[in-house]
C-alpha cells in the first residue's frame, strides 16, 4: 500500500510539471503502459504504471520535470520507433 501512495505522489508531481518533459507515460492500444521520449531515442512497454514511471525516472536522474503523463484517454504508440522493413539489416 505504501508503494501505491508513493506512486500517486510521484505522478501528482509529474502532472504538475509546466516545462516540456523529456518522457511521456501513457497506454498503448492494448492497454500496456508505454514510455516515450520526446526525441524518439528511448522508450519501452511495461506491465505496470509503476514500472514505466521507474524506467523514466532512472533515465532522467529522477527529475520529475522531465516526466509527464499523457492525457487520460489518449493512446500512445511507437510510430517514431518502428523502422521500415527495408531499413532492417
Q: Which tens digits make up the pLDDT trace of 26-43?
A: 999 899 999 999 888 899
Burial 59-88 (b: 16+ CB within 10 A, else e): bbeeebebbbbeeeeeebeeeeeeeeeeee
pLDDT for position 15: 52
Average of per-residue pLDDT across 39-51: 92
pLDDT for position 72: 86
Q: pTM for this one?
A: 0.67
pLDDT for position 75: 87
Cell numbers at residue 40, please? 524518439
Amino acid at each position: 500500500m505504501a508503494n501505491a501512495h508513493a506512486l500517486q505522489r510521484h505522478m501528482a508531481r509529474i502532472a504538475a510539471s509546466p516545462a516540456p518533459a523529456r518522457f511521456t507515460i501513457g497506454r498503448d492500444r492494448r492497454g500496456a503502459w508505454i514510455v516515450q521520449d520526446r526525441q524518439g531515442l528511448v522508450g519501452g512497454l511495461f506491465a505496470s504504471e509503476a514500472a514505466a514511471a521507474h524506467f523514466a525516472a532512472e533515465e532522467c536522474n529522477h527529475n520529475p520535470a522531465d516526466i509527464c503523463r499523457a492525457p487520460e484517454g489518449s493512446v500512445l504508440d511507437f510510430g517514431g520507433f518502428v523502422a521500415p522493413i527495408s531499413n532492417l539489416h
